[in-house]
Amino acid sequence: MNSKSNMESVNKVIWTEAAKFTFEEILEFLKFKWGQKQIDDFYFLADKTINRIQENPLQFPIYPDSKNIRRALVHQNVSLFFKIIQENNEIYLMFFFDNRKRPMQFL
């Protein structure tokens, strides 16, 4: 097995400012509404989803009319939108979105 091909399958993940901000917003909502256990659960789900994206980003569908931005479901109520820059093996986490809100205006 060629070790170089294994390295290429793992992409560098870059958090945009919007991703950091929207992640924190969700954590604040969970803290206000539910408590530490739900915060911990969300951290676990987000980390698991980001690892899946990092290992195989093409498994996630392109969001309609979004110019190659993909959507990963973190939880039934939260999606993570990201963009792949294949030339650099980079993945940009664009933002987290509460699926219960009005349709997206970010894209």
Q: What is the CATH number of the domain that holds 45?
A: 3.30.2310.20
Domain count, the chain: 1
- The verdict on residue 4 lying in a domain is no
Task: Compute the average pLDDT of residues 44-54.
Answer: 97
Whole domain around residue 25: which residue ranges? 13-98
- The verdict on residue 103 lying in a domain is no
- The verdict on residue 17 lying in a domain is yes
Percent of the chain whose pLDDT exceeds 70: 85
- The verdict on residue 76 lying in a domain is yes
What global pTM score does this model have? Answer: 0.84
- The verdict on residue 57 lying in a domain is yes
Task: Compute the average pLDDT of residues 85-99.
Answer: 93
- The verdict on residue 59 lying in a domain is yes
Task: Compute the average pLDDT of residues 59-76.
Answer: 92
pLDDT at 97 over 80: yes
- The verdict on residue 105 lying in a domain is no
Cβ(88)–Cβ(12) below 8 Å: yes
Residue 65 pLDDT level (bands cut at 50, 70, 90):
confident
